[in-house]
Amino acid sequence: MKRVGFLLKVREDRLDEYKEHHRNVWPEMLDALRKHGWGNYSLFMREDGLMFGYVEVPDTFQAALDGMAGEDVNTRWQEMMSAYFESPGSGRPDESMLELEEVFHVA
């Protein structure tokens, strides 16, 4: 199991809508996440929309991302979510999830 942290930035004018979508994640999206090993997955957000994500994956973060990339439900979800993010590029939100280096952990 690998612990992964990443940052994303949600547009400040879309925070409430973004949070509402995450209170009502599609059941088939949750199934796809579980199928590809996304466990103990959490998102934390500051008032300005800076968001920290944490997930535990069985192998590598890239393998977990690659698994989701092949899911139709993920394609639809990422297309819907793309309007909510400030992004330096024009890619999907899950393509902007850059893994952070873990520098400390206590169990």
Active site residue 22: yes
Instruction: Please give the DSSP secondary-structure letter assigned to residue 89.
Output: S
Residue the block writes with tokens 């939100």: 93
Cα(12)–Cα(27) distance, rounded to whole angstroms? 27
Q: How far is CA 35 from the centre of its chain?
A: 15
Q: Please answer whether residues 21 and 79 qualify as being in contact, where contact means their C-beta atoms are separated by less than 8 angstroms.
A: no
Cα(102)–Cα(48) distance, rounded to whole angstroms? 24
Instruction: Please give the DSSP secondary-structure letter assigned to residue 90.
Output: S
Q: Which of 21, 22, 36, 105 is catalytic?
A: 22
Which residues are known to be catalytic?
22
